[in-house]
A and B are shown apart, each in its own frame.
Chain A
Amino acid sequence: MKIARRSFLSFLIGGAAGTALTPLPWKLTDDLSIWSQNWPWTPVPPKGAANQVNSVCSLCPGGCGITVRKIDERAVKIEGMDGYPGNDGSLCTLCLAGLQLLYGPSRVQAPMKRVGKRGEGRWQKISWEQALEEVTAKLSDLRAADAPETLVALLGSDRGTVPQLFNRFLTAYGSPNFFRTPSIQDTYELALFLMHGTRSMASFDIENSDFVLSFGSGMIDGWGSSVRMFKAKSKLRDANATVCQIETRLSNTAAKSDKWVSINPGTEAALALGLAHVIIKEARYNQDFITNYTNGFNKFQQLVLEQYSPSNVTMVTGIDPETITSLARSFASARHPLAICGRGQGATPGSLNEFIAVHALNALVGNINQKGGIWAMPEPDYIEWPDVPMDAVAANGMQKGRMDGAGSQNFPHSRYLLNRLPDMIHSGEATIGALMVIGSNPVHTLPDTPKVQTALDKIPYIVSLSSFMDETTQMADIILPNHTNFERYQDVPAPEGLPQPIIGLSQPIVEPQFNTRHAGDIIIQLAQSLGGNVAEALAWGDYETCLQETLGDKWDMLSEQGFWVDESFNIGAWGEAFETDSGKFEFTNAAINRLPLFNPINLDGSSSEYPLVLLPYDSMRISAGHIGNPAFLMKTIEDTVLKGNSGFVEINPQTAASLGLAQGAKAIISTPTGSAEVRVHHFDGIMPGVIAMPRGLGRTAFDKYVAHKGINVNGLIGAVEDPASGLDAAWGTRASLTKA
């Protein structure tokens, strides 16, 4: 039978009419709409019971209390712990995005052994037994060769039980070469030691100050314990206190301060002495403190009156004499004035002279250990372990002294001079047999990173205990991955600069996600397998036992509340605060006299070849420490700082015009250390002739979200050794910028 066209149409119409009387069209529409709202590839978080765990974050040195919200065993949100000293309920962006580090792709998931060339990134998973066996064999060999002092351990900090276990291990093994990551903490400690005679931590009662004079310290750019400083800054504003920011560049802190004084880069010490000049000349200093509790004032007075008159200081700093005088007067007439220093986030130790000059200002106004002032906090002393049992090899190794020259005749009071090592390795002055790194990432964070990398290349054996595949871990021969701070117990002593002796407890929020071990357990296990006096020195069954024993009766409060505060603590009164020979605060003494005078730190390179000055700056949106940005944080970076993979350099429009560089133009930046392609961003907040780049970009490790984005400014800036301390005092470098 043939179907006519008409019949066929009729069939279709009948079908349509019939279909309209079935649920098919309506049901299909409904199902498709639900399907389109629930694409099967859209991740939907599983439901479960909500619960919270308190802990302390140690992603950065800020040491903030955190409360983590969990659904069943999955951590879903990190929030600030209410009532925790310092951050009290608030957090920084790094920690807020911290779960991306815990669950992210940059974790080292098991012990690994390098199989390719160093830095090639070819690894083989091995068992913990094999990993520990191999490291033990290497360490035994070094010791058998009577070279225990060539074992170097580099950690992020030297406080708390984990760093101290490593230090103890090193001592029993026979090596004095324990290092911590450099920061302004080094310089502040040294300044306090020379002027107070005590080994103490500089802490700031900033919330109670009414005039904060900041020499480049990025109060809201991550200086000190960053969250606490944000809150303090708001508190100061509410209390009508004054914040005066001395800084070459208009940083966020400068923009949010009451007064911004733009200063020629690197001349802060001269300004501090100029202010001292005015304060002394006009007799605006604290008579009681100066007369009764200080020593060497006359000599200091003579120096500043002779050499640092406002007109002299103007020539160096570029700040006019009236501003200097009025600033000195407002500072000295405030009730609780406070002078702070350490540029940006304080990652570079800086010049000792500068810190001494700034601290002298605090002494002049008598606000040491006073409300709203700077406090010399005693270092935590809760770790009371028996003396380290030594054998002949250990004693012999320890006698050889530190390889970086800290504590030597040149730098008798410095403790750790990591910045000196790369040069010393290259010149053969320092020989490292094996390096253990944990919580530190020198290949990214130290100045002149290419030199650091080639120096590391000369070290025959590198053991990394990092939780993440960072730049230094990429150079390792073997990786013994530590739990992240979200998976482990650890004591976290007082956050940087907090005028309150507290201990925080980092607690496991989730079970270890991968085949990792606690660094404390790793070092105990290594000690056990080495045997002898090393095993004796670290005789704890495991790290948790060691921690609980060490904390003793504080443990209950710590595990319940998350932190322990020494309620009985009182900062020493002036009469008993100083342990110098004179028992007083010393403006000058034999040790300080030996230091070179307040000369500005000179930068590498000639001004004809490199007409510009490059400054690094810090941003809360870029993690510049040993840990790189989590992916969320990358998304917060402005596209005038990073666009695609291109990093920007800030330049004054006037300088840019003279170089013929339009906004966004590509340029080549060259410094005595290296060169790189950048794009330029015109910025009125930077003085002509000066350019600036952010710290923390240009990573080469971690994951695809952070690697190879922007330029690592540390690769462009070389270290400049402070002749007074041996610490790195570089605040920038000379540079040139040419059209690409």
Chain B
Amino acid sequence: MSTSDDQSKESQEVAATEKTDLEPIEPGQSSVGHVVLFFIVGFVASLVLGWVIFPKLLYSTKPQPFNYSHAIHNELVDEGCESCHYFREDGSFSGIPSLESCVECHEEMQGDSEDEAIFMEEYVAKDREIPWHVYSRQPDCVFFSHAAHVKMGKMDCVTCHGHIGESDQLPTYKENRISTYSIDIWGRNISGIKRNSWDRMKMNDCANCHRENGVNQRSVQTRKGGCFVCHN
């Protein structure tokens, strides 16, 4: 009766004999070729995963409630963006207009587009706020004052928001499945390369602009510097 050690030794010997019989090539050469091949396969696969598959998996596309044309509205109002995205009396920024602001003009249906019909039926008639997906929404721990940038810093809207004000179609809203913020914060280019000032809205983009313009590195509101300029 043989032990299990004996058995495994035997089977190894058999295996070695068979291999030599079938592939009479130098063992050293074959192994280097395989190693290089597998390295390249792994390398290419991960590049494809990282650059192509990952971005597709990371973002989900969410439809806006209906399409909104900034271009049409911009033609009709007198004060540009501030007509709807206005500053309140206390200096705070109103952001996305509430339904109440819309209804000031849209008490009756304006035009006969399908989007207008959805707006009137689903929101005006039911007195429901429109659940817009906001491209520029930042985490709650970020304090951003529009007044400090637009009123005091004299920046225009385009610097951060791009040419959305002239667009006829809303861009596709892509939501990051992990952070839940819009793709526009990191930038639509997954590599993070930006061509325009409005392509990204990450912390470094704020910091770079502050540095380049020699902005007083203290918050006007809290009088605190460092991280506390924006994080409170």
Contacts and interface: CB of A to CB of B under 8 A. Distances in A.
A37 B51 contact: no
A22 B179 CA distance: 19
Interface residues of B, number: 38
Nearest to B90: A50
Contacts of B47: 18, 21-22
A10 B140 contact: no
5 contacts: A4-B34, A14-B45, A21-B47, A34-B139, A35-B179
A594 to B, nearest CB: 64
Interface string A1-43: 0011011101111111111011110111011101101101000
B191 interface: yes
B40 interface: yes
B43 A22 contact: no
A49 interface: yes
Contacts of A12: 42
A22 B35 CA distance: 22
B31 A18 contact: no
B41 to A, nearest CB: 6
Interface of A: 3-4, 6-8, 10-19, 21-24, 26-28, 30-32, 34-35, 37-38, 40, 44, 47, 49-50
Interface string B117-133: 00000000000000000
The 10 closest A-B pairs by CB, nearest first: A22-B50, A14-B42, A18-B46, A15-B42, A14-B39, A14-B43, A24-B50, A31-B178, A11-B42, A18-B43
B71 interface: no
A419 B43 CA distance: 87
B34 to A, nearest CB: 4
A4 B176 CA distance: 39
Contacts of A27: 54, 58, 186, 190, 192
Interface string B97-141: 000000000000000000000000000000000000000000111
A378 to B, nearest CB: 43
B228 interface: no
Nearest to B35: A10
Interface string B190-229: 1110000000000000000000000000000000000000
B54 A15 contact: no
B94 interface: yes
B153 interface: no
Contacts of A50: 88, 90, 92
A25 to B, nearest CB: 8
Contacts of A19: 46, 49-50
A30 B50 CA distance: 15
Contacts of A4: 31, 34
Contacts of B94: 49
Contacts of B139: 34, 37-38
A26 B38 CA distance: 25
Nearest to A14: B42
Contact of B180 (A15, A21, A40): A40
A14 B180 contact: no
B181 interface: yes
B164 interface: no
Nearest to B92: A50
B44 interface: yes
Contacts of A34: 139, 178-179, 181
B127 to A, nearest CB: 13
B65 interface: no
Contacts of B37: 7
Given A23-B51, A34-B179, 18 more contacts: A4-B31, A6-B31, A7-B37, A14-B46, A15-B42, A15-B45, A16-B46, A17-B39, A17-B42, A18-B44, A21-B50, A22-B49, A23-B191, A27-B186, A27-B192, A31-B178, A38-B180, A40-B180
Contacts of B41: 11, 14
Contacts of A23: 50-51, 54-55, 190-192
A482 to B, nearest CB: 27
A278 to B, nearest CB: 59
A432 B45 CA distance: 86
Nearest to B88: A49
Nearest to A40: B180
B42 A10 contact: yes
Contacts of A40: 180
Nearest to B39: A14
Nearest to A32: B178
Contacts of A47: 95
Given A38-B180, A49-B94, A24 B54 contact: yes
User: Which has the most chain A C-beta neighbours within 10 Å: B50, B58, B94, B140?
Assistant: B50
Of B31, B41, B43, most buried by chain A (CB within 10 Å of CB) is: B43
A6 B50 contact: no
A279 B55 CA distance: 91
Given A24-B49, A27-B186, A18 B42 contact: yes
Contacts of A44: 140
A332 B190 CA distance: 85
Contact of A31 (B58, B95, B141): B58
A26 B46 CA distance: 14
B31 to A, nearest CB: 6
A14 B49 CA distance: 13
Given A10-B35, A30-B186, A37 B50 contact: no
Nearest to A17: B43
A247 to B, nearest CB: 45
A469 to B, nearest CB: 31
A31 B180 CA distance: 9
Contacts of A37: 139, 141
A31 B181 CA distance: 9
B57 to A, nearest CB: 10
Contacts of A15: 42-43, 45-46
Contact of A11 (B39, B58, B140, B192): B39
A10 to B, nearest CB: 4
Given A17-B43, A24-B50, A31-B176, A8 B92 contact: no
A75 B164 CA distance: 34
Given A11-B41, A13-B39, A23-B51, A31 B179 contact: yes
A7 B50 CA distance: 22
A6 B35 contact: yes
Contacts of A38: 139-141, 179-180
Given A14-B42, A27-B186, A7 B35 contact: yes
Contacts of B141: 37-38
Nearest to B178: A31
A22 B88 contact: no
A7 B179 CA distance: 37
Contacts of B39: 10-11, 13-14, 17
A21 B42 CA distance: 12
Contacts of B51: 22-23
A13 B176 contact: no
A8 B38 contact: yes
Contacts of B190: 23, 27
A584 B49 CA distance: 99
A16 B51 CA distance: 14
A16 B43 CA distance: 7
A252 to B, nearest CB: 34
A6 B45 CA distance: 18
Contacts of A24: 49-50, 54
A21 B54 CA distance: 13
In this complex, the member of B34, B38, B92, B95 whose beta carbon has the largest number of chain A beta carbons within 10 angstroms is: B38
Name which of A21, A26, A34 has the most chain B CB atoms within 10 A of its CB. Answer: A34
A429 B36 CA distance: 105
A11 B42 CA distance: 5
A7 B92 CA distance: 61
Contacts of B42: 10-18
Contacts of B38: 3, 7-8, 10-11, 14
Nearest to B91: A50
Contacts of B191: 23
Interface in B146-200: 176, 178-181, 186, 190-192
